[in-house]
Copies of this chain bind each other. A is one copy, B any other.
């Protein structure tokens, strides 16, 4: 988590103040529930809430205590006792540190997921707006980086939309995975804490009850969560890569917005580089790199060990902060993306009509040729065009007409070079992706 790639709202979730505040709330809610069950005095619960709510927790003081106890939750509880006074002895009754820590992490990750969901919503809105704008902006489709057949820039964006809509669904599922509350005491047996405390705290903190915890919330939940972030990051990379390709000098079908005063290179004043999407590519690598540590965290020893903790202290903030930043950055890129339809048309025309080779192939098979023979015939003319240099306008149709074995009339051939043909199902695709408008 470095300032350059961070946004304040997500960063705030991971601040010590936020963490201690959540710790306090969990402890205080648990004490309230214990009071309701008669385990601790109602008055104690009241005092704890009152004094704790009024306090700002002193991070340095807590760290000072931890230097001796070497245990962060005990340090916090000791500090809380300094604030609350004698009633503090009723705090944390029957609970273990993991009850606090894991439920807190659940709250933090759920809040982080909410921000990420809002990020995706904003991204989806931006993509949709540009997709509709360029619904029929014709452009060459490329497989293997090589011209294939035409599509529209709107369809390209519709694909991104569908992918991020899937990512949204995945993230909703991942959020549900980690939004559970465990207040089950040492080893998770509820020996010293009634399961009703857990139910109470869960409801207050907006979480589900963890059905069975082993003192800790099982880490397969977190593994699934971070794996999902890794998939979303990979989708980000896909869109970023597309834009980087489109901005290449020779292609230049789209370009990241270049602001007044911006400089592309310290040495070469002519440069305008796709630095935002290249940055997104790197950020995707980072988020993806956190998936495996999260997977390795699953196999804790016996009821729990603490090896997951250092991993989560780092990837918890890093993965969510980085992904939040990246999603917002991509939204900005899409929103302000410069699109050049005239360059798209120029590139489309580059191969002299070769993008219609399949139509000719199909026409020849319909006319009685075997698939194999038709292929040879079409490929023969196509390769001649391929190897031409310079202006290829109309070249493919010409070569086909010149080939005596191509048993199609000139009119039939010419009819196959109408690009609107390729766009006839744009509506179908848009309807599938965006629904009826």
Contact = CB atoms under 8 A, between A and B. Distances in A.
Interface stretch (A91-99, A102-110, A115-123, A402-410): A91-99
A286 B273 contact: no
Contacts of A213: 159
A350 B96 contact: no
A309 interface: yes
Copies in the complex: 4
> Interface residues of A: mostly helix, strand, loop or mixed?
helix
B433 A212 contact: yes
Given A146-B249, A189-B425, A235-B220, A70 B308 contact: no
A241 B301 contact: yes
Interface in A139-162: 140-151, 155-156, 158-159, 162
A96 B265 contact: yes
A415 interface: no
A221 B159 CA distance: 13
Given A242-B302, A292-B291, A151 B266 contact: no
Interface in A355-377: 355, 357-362, 365, 368-372, 374-375
Contact of A425 (B191, B227, B297, B299): B191
29 contacts: A70-B259, A92-B266, A93-B362, A94-B267, A97-B266, A141-B189, A144-B264, A144-B271, A149-B189, A166-B220, A166-B221, A189-B425, A191-B359, A220-B231, A224-B231, A238-B299, A240-B299, A248-B248, A263-B375, A267-B358, A269-B382, A270-B357, A270-B396, A278-B307, A279-B306, A279-B309, A285-B307, A289-B289, A342-B389
Given A97-B267, A285-B297, 9 more contacts: A4-B313, A78-B372, A93-B362, A148-B268, A163-B218, A186-B265, A190-B425, A220-B234, A282-B311
